[in-house]
A and B are shown apart, each in its own frame.
Chain A
Amino acid sequence: MEIKENLKYSRDHEWVKIEGDKVYIGITDYAQDSLGDVVFVELPEVGDTFDAGDDFAVVESVKAASDIYTPVSGTVVEINEELENMPEMVNEAPYESWFIALEIDDPSELDSLMDWEEYQKFCEEEEA
């Protein structure tokens, strides 16, 4: 299971890449592996706003639909339209397959995220 050192992680298995007051959000290798073959991704629109904990996208595997939650509040400033045509990218390159970029409202919300070592331990506990 791949975990990137330069990213932050949520308890719902999203990764967050911080670039100033903008963050990119995707799902982790662990998440894509437990979902199985991703065949459809539904994204929000630029300008949509979300509170931390809201579901902002839907990922459908062959078997089922799963909501994806944002760990931080903010406004969508970019969406990765490539995923709409190539949803399998989520399986093949989870850390390159960002879903959205959010302009965040409150940088202090980032403090609740895990660093890579904490996330690794978290995944090990989930497995057990």
Chain B
Amino acid sequence: MKKTPLYDTHVAAGAKLIDFGGWMMPVQYTSIIDEHMAVRERAGIFDVSHMGEILIEGRDAESFLQKILTNDISKTQKGRIVYSPICYPDGGVVDDVLVYKLHQERFLVVANAANIDKDYEWFLAHKEGEVDVKDVSEEYAQLAVQGPNAEQILNNLIDFDFGRIKFFRFADDIVIDGAEMLISRTGYTGEDGFEIYISPEHVVRLWHSIMDIGKDYGIMPAGLGARDTLRFEAALPLYGHEISKDISPLEGGLEKFVKFDKENFIGKDALVSQMERGIERRLVGFEMLDRGIAREGYEVLSDDILIGYVTSGSYSPSLGKNLGIALIKTDADIKDGELEIVVRKRRLKAKIVKLPFYTKQYRK
């Protein structure tokens, strides 16, 4: 089992640790609900060092990424970040990633922990021209500082105005206590916040510095449990749930990140044909009306007919409701937005509600 450099820090803080894609990660420190609310109302700090980083370098780096990604990075400037799915030829999703443009010919691709090896192999297999692909995951630890107080906390950490880093942009020349780092205004919670990439040897000290300053701003360490409920309320997709090798980005509601006007990219033909035939499935949000919680994989019925299944479901700490996201047939005949969710062999009533459940509080 792999451990992040903060493993001992988590243990000392009383975290519950779980196996997450081969990593021992904190799922919670005190309470998922408390940690969730801290991020919504004040600030939370997450150890996300398990995320993978792949460096793409060389004269043909951009054209290679243009072929791999469904999104378009051709107009992206240095210092900016693009979110994109990566597709198989059949339109299924290999992974969804953030692409940081470090230089004209150098990009950092940030990947889901469980997908690093698969992504790396995929990149190597489709490498073309003068381009170097390197898995540099070992060189980076990562912290996420999220919540309405995140900017103030970082502003108090060093003499730098973090208001200057706009949404989906980054600065890579920040030095704190002699440690260089890359900081971006990104996150996976639906709140304003930052993600910090730093070498593993410096991350423990940075964690403690942020915790010290953050105390006055109500910061709490937050685990993967809160990370999941936060992203769920904001309807941010989770690989393996809302998108996967069997769920295309169009079905997963990510058409905004698929650029059909790009000359070519892997999966384009399949996705074009999905568009032409009509997308067969779509994601909907729902709220439980009967008492019960929908969980991933539960069946969804309309008029006694199976129309899909739940991709994510949870109690929502911010809204105090039991909510879910389901992948259902686009042509399903649904009356008045009424669904039934099969919870332990019982059919419970639910109704369709708009996604996201929680309006994202990004500062753009």
Contacts and interface: CB of A to CB of B under 8 A. Distances in A.
A34 B31 CA distance: 11
A36 B291 contact: no
Interface string B43-67: 0000000000000000000000000
A40 interface: yes
B192 to A, nearest CB: 23
A86 interface: no
Interface in B266-306: 291-293, 295
A98 B16 CA distance: 26
A63 B314 CA distance: 7
B225 A84 contact: no
Interface residues of A, number: 14
Interface in A40-81: 40, 42, 58, 60-65
A39 interface: yes
A45 to B, nearest CB: 13
Contacts of B27: 63
A68 to B, nearest CB: 13
A60 B293 CA distance: 8
B225 A39 contact: no
B293 A40 contact: yes
Interface in A6-37: 34, 36-37
B31 A58 contact: no
B232 to A, nearest CB: 10
A52 to B, nearest CB: 21
B315 A62 contact: yes
A39 B31 contact: no
A62 B32 CA distance: 7
B33 interface: yes
Interface residues of B, number: 18
A62 B27 CA distance: 11
Contacts of A36: 16, 28, 31-32, 225
Given A40-B322, A58-B344, A65 B295 contact: yes
B79 interface: no
Contacts of A60: 293, 315
B33 A37 contact: yes
A96 B225 CA distance: 27
Contacts of A62: 32-33, 225, 229, 314-315, 317
Contacts of B28: 36
A39 B314 CA distance: 10
Interface string B122-138: 00000000000000000
Contacts of B32: 36-37, 61-63
Nearest to B346: A42
Interface string B92-123: 00000000000000000000000000000000
A52 B298 CA distance: 28
A61 to B, nearest CB: 8
Contacts of A34: 16
Contact of A37 (B31, B292, B293, B344): B31
Interface string B145-176: 00000000000000000000000000000000
B315 A40 contact: yes
Contacts of A61: 32
Interface of A: 34, 36-37, 39-40, 42, 58, 60-65, 84
10 contacts: A36-B31, A36-B32, A36-B225, A37-B31, A39-B33, A40-B291, A42-B291, A42-B292, A62-B317, A65-B344
Given A37-B31, A62-B32, A65-B344, 19 more contacts: A36-B31, A36-B225, A37-B32, A37-B33, A40-B291, A40-B292, A40-B322, A42-B291, A58-B344, A60-B293, A62-B225, A62-B229, A62-B315, A62-B317, A63-B27, A63-B314, A64-B295, A65-B295, A84-B291
